[in-house]
Structure formats: C-alpha cells, structure tokens
C-alpha cells in the first residue's frame, strides 16, 4: 500500500501535526520511539482518503459556518406579486 501524500499547504500541515501531537496516545519506549501507534497515527499513514477528507473539511468549514448565519435573500413572505 502506498503511503498517503499530504496535499495541503505547509501551514496546514504544521497545524495538523500540532493537533496530532496534542491528541496522540501512542506508546513509547524509554528512547522515545513509538512502540504502539494510536488510531490517529494509523489513519494518517494508511489512508489517502482520510487525509484528503480532512483537508477538504478544514477548507470548507469556515464557509459553511458563515453561510449558516446568512439571512436568506428571499423568504417568499413579503412578495409584492
Ligand atoms: Zn499517536
């Protein structure tokens, strides 16, 4: 299986790595090497679809949140016709 490739920007990658570090629950040996990977780390190295979906969600989330709070352009209640 091919290793997934990050298609985001360097800044998006740095943010993702910081989030992963904060939530990582991998087991480490005395030298700091990973002995058992957590589910987050497994997903990041095994699924291109996961990485692409994560990036897509991050990029559209702000637009979707903003659209949720927009007033409708036309409600149909005050129509003069
Ligand atoms: Zn981990």
pLDDT by residue for the chain (81 residues), tens digit each? 788 999 999 999 999 999 999 999 999 999 999 999 999 899 888 889 999 999 999 999 988 988 888 877 666 666 555
Rounded to the nearest angstrom, the distance between the alpha carbon of 24 and the centre of ligand 1 is 4
Domain locations in the chain as residue ranges: 10-68
In sequence order, what are the residues at sequence separation of 6 or more whose Cβ sits closer than 8 angstroms to the Cβ of residue 28? Answer: 34, 35
Give CA–CA dist 79/2, Å, rounded.
57
Rounded to the nearest angstrom, the distance between the alpha carbon of 59 and the centre of ligand 1 is 24
pLDDT value of position 43? 87
**Torsion sign (Cα): 41, 43, 47, 48:** negative
pLDDT value of position 25? 96
Model's pTM, two decimal places?
Answer: 0.69
pLDDT value of position 24? 94
pLDDT value of position 73? 67
């Amino acid at each position: 299986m091919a290793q997934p490739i990050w298609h985001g920007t360097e800044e998006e990658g740095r943010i993702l790595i910081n989030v992963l570090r904060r939530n990582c629950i991998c087991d480490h040996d005395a030298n700091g090497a990973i002995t058992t990977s957590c589910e987050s780390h497994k997903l990041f190295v095994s699924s291109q679809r996961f990485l692409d979906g994560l990036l897509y969600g991050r990029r559209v989330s702000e637009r979707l949140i903003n659209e949720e709070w927009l007033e409708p352009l036309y409600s149909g209640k005050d129509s003069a016709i």
